[in-house]
Amino acid sequence: MGLKEDKTVICDNCGKAVANLIFLPDKDDLEIIFINVSKSTHHLKTRENKLEIIKAFYKIDLIALDKLLGNNALGFICYHCKKHYCSECWTNCYDIYDEGYYDYTLGTCPNGHECIILD
Ligand SMILES: [Zn+2]
Ligand SMILES: [Zn+2]
């Protein structure tokens, strides 16, 4: 269908752009591409929960979207605050590796919650 939508997500703390979400509906898969402030591009494809994902995307309900894609898939949400923050507002960020492979990223949100940001 060639339908392509994108939405910019703004940091709840400072108002800077957190990510640009690009949504590519497809016959079989939905693909959400997001580019966050670290400039790395992530591609998430799914066949499950398509209708719910579409609804969450259009409402920019990022908590719902993140849960549907797998918790901490988007990589900028604090589940304690239920808010999303840019990379400058997350502090003490570090990557955890398991036997040499990236596992997840920990960080502290502006309200002092230490949590997994990206998994
Ligand atoms: Zn928080
Ligand atoms: Zn921020």
Ligand nearest to the Cα of 13, by number? 2
Task: Give 40-83 pLDDT, tens digit per residue.
Answer: 888 888 888 888 988 898 888 999 999 998 888 899 999 999 99
Which residue has 């609804």 as its token pair? 55
3-state class of 115 per DSSP?
A: strand
17-25 vs 30-36, strand pairing mode:
antiparallel
Contact by Cβ (8 Å): 91, 108: yes
Beta-bridge partners for 5: 23
pLDDT of 38 reads 66
Query: Model-level pTM?
Result: 0.82
Which pair of tokens denotes residue 23? 């949504």
> What is the 90 CA–ligand 1 centroid distance (Å)?
9
CB-based contacts of 84: which residues, under 8 Å, 6+ apart? 9, 11, 12, 18, 62, 74, 76, 77, 78
Per-residue confidence at 37, pLDDT binned at 50, 70, 90? low
Contact by Cβ (8 Å): 115, 107: yes
Residue 3 has pLDDT above 70, yes or no: no
Neighbours of ion ligand 2 (CB under 5 A): 11, 13-14, 16, 86, 89
> What is the 90 CA–ligand 2 centroid distance (Å)?
8
> What is the 10 CA–ligand 1 centroid distance (Å)?
16
Q: What is the mean pLDDT of the chain?
A: 88
> What is the 79 CA–ligand 1 centroid distance (Å)?
7
